[in-house]
Structure 1
């Protein structure tokens, strides 16, 4: 009896295990079948998407679109064509300017708007414009000369003065200042003197006293200038003190100016002065003038301001720029523009410099 019961129990256990195994195998088969069906469905969907993309590409090609290689080729051709067109436009512009009588230097300058072009010693210098500094905001049409050769401001900025003035020295000889005043001159810069470009000796202008007295008596406001040949700060201080002593008896309402230029020829004492040294010389002169209660100013041309001086170091000082063509070619802010060295006016025999003052910060 016991053996029979044990056999039945063993048989029942085996049967149960078989059933469980069958169930597990069935579940695995169902999962596998489900996964296979999912893969088949996904493949079918991908085939449909692929067919849709292919149809879209066929449609694009039929509408005239291009392959990547075709597009690259067309871009290359367009670039070459654009380069040739731009080159031809530049050549046409140069030819047009030269045929109209525009000088070579002026023509070349128009091609480099971000640089100051200096023609010097048979070569060109290209100096980048420092756009972090205060810039000249006038346009080419803001100024025009009247029938007397006097430059007038034609722009719309009511803050611009546009006043007429001259600067004189011994080279103008005796001046009838009453006639000068009647001609509309509102201010005059009188040369106090100069330092010899080779000797280094300071000399007072022989007409200084006559000119400053005559101008003031005629009701013309005056400023003064000194032609500098200083080679160091000590000489700059000497020049400033010379000027300040000379103007003590007079009412000087316009700036006290240091005239900084490169002399003609090769025998001049400042030829080896570096830009940093010249900037220091100018600062010494101007700071001394300012400390004495006057307004300092720098006179010069494009070479002065682009090559001889560091503009960033003298930005706070008023500028008097010499340029004898209209429009003005000077990128930075300025107060006075000397636009002619051959002006004619009643009261002065021969030629005299003409100036226009656009702003007066003194």
Structure 2
């Protein structure tokens, strides 16, 4: 009897414990549900306040209405168009001011693309990215200044012995070399000859002998150059041999140069020459000159070393760059710089090309 009573009490105690646990669990669930409901109410109220504030801002912006997605896109497009038109107006104004101040069109275009070499030819502009794989000259824009006598001088911090030079041909007529020597000219590059742009005949410059002998007799060091119109390697070798024969009697201190330029004529025999052929001709000429014991060099302008030839492919040779202006635009290494075709030197009537040499020969 006692055992039955005890069992009944134990069962009742278990049921009571279960009931208490259930009540506690349900209470916790109710509290959590209530808390979540309160959270949602607070969140909803906050969102409503933010929405109201946002609507108020939009109303202030557009005068009381709202922008649809299409209207917002139109506003963005209009703003972009106005920005472009403003930029175009500014660009046109800059163009106009630069051209009115004397800048050339090519100069203005070059200013717009500082990371590229820009050249023009055949009515088109060509753009060549400046390469870090080719040796750069390393001069700053302020390293050179124009002196009162019209000569460029070096004012940078490198230890350079700059030499002043001229290059001459029959176009300078009779030259008083004694006066030239007294005017501060250290060296002269003498045109020995040229190949015709039409039939391709090799021609000696009319003033070659007078010029080279007059310069040497007055203590001016000389180099020589030959204007090339070779259309293949064979003709380039002919030009090199012609030049070697002409300079054999003289003491040549400065380089022996192949002059590679665009003939600027659709009728020229080199008008359709590829860059590969130009480069092959230049290398054949220079290697022949070097084998004969002279220092070879390639003359050209910025177009020559970008459009006619790849500067990287002739980087092993000394370079004589023609660029009229300061600072120097051509970014790669050079040994001589022809900086004007309108120089004035005593002993020469009219204009003459002026040069500097930054290499000791």
Do they superpose with TM above 0.5? yes
Provide closer, same or farther for how the CA distance between residues 296 and 33 of structure 1 changes in structure 2, counting only shifts above 3 A: farther
Name 1:88's counterpart in structure 2: 89
Task: Indicate the residue corresponding to 1:271 in structure 2.
Answer: 271
Greater mean alpha carbon deviation, residues 265-274 or residues 51-60:
51-60
- Give the C-alpha shift of residue 30 in structure 1: 1.9
Q: Are 1:285 and 2:285 counterparts?
A: yes
- Matched ranges for 1:113-132 at <5 A: 113-121=114-122, 123-132=123-132
Per-residue displacement from partner, 1:216-255 (whole Å, max 9, x unpaired)?
A: 2322122211111222223323333443444344332322
The equivalent residue for 1:172 is 172
Tell me, in whole angstroms, the C-alpha distance in 1 between the residues paired with 2:22 and 2:74.
58
Query: Distance in 2 between the 1:176 and 1:95 partners?
Result: 44
Secondary structure of residue in 2 paired with 1:126:
strand
- Aligned-residue offset at 1:166: 0.7
The range that moved more, 342-351 or 277-286, is: 342-351
Q: What is the Cα-based RMSD across aligned positions, in Å?
A: 3.8
Query: Which whole-Å CA distance do the structure 1 matches of 2:98 and 2:39 have between them?
Result: 69
| CA deviations over 1:81-137 (Å, ceiling 9, x no partner) | 43232222112112223333444444444444444443434x122223324244564
Partner of 2:189: 189
Matched with 1:29 is 23
Give the deviation of 1:256 after TM superposition: 1.9
Q: Is the 8 A contact 2:117 2:130 kept in 1?
A: no
For 2:146, the equivalent position in structure 1 comes to 144
SS at match of 2:34: helix
Q: How many residues align?
A: 352
Query: How does the TM-score come out when normalised to structure 2?
Result: 0.78
Q: Secondary structure of 1:139's partner?
A: coil
CA apart distance, 1:278 = 1.0
Bigger shift: 289-298 or 69-78? 69-78
Asked if the contact 2:144/2:326 (under 8 Å) is kept, the reply is no
Which has the larger displacement, 189-198 or 107-116?
107-116
Question: What aligned pairs does 1:294-313 form with structure 2 within 5 A after superposition?
Answer: 294-313=294-313
The offset of 1:355, in angstroms, is 1.7
TM-score, with normalisation over the residues of structure 1? Answer: 0.78
Q: Distance in 2 between matches of 1:290 and 1:31?
A: 102
The equivalent residue for 1:345 is: 345
Structure 2 SS opposite 1:83: helix
- SS for the counterpart of 2:146 is strand
1:16-46 alpha-carbon deviations (Å, 9 max, x no partner) = 4554344334323322322332343354356
Q: Is the 8 A contact 2:265 2:271 kept in 1?
A: no
For the pair shown, which has the larger CA radius of gyration, 1 or 2? Answer: 1
Asked if the contact 2:169/2:190 (under 8 Å) is kept, the reply is yes
The whole-number CA distance in structure 2 between the counterparts of 1:31 and 1:100 is 89
State yes or no: 1:44 paired with 2:38: yes
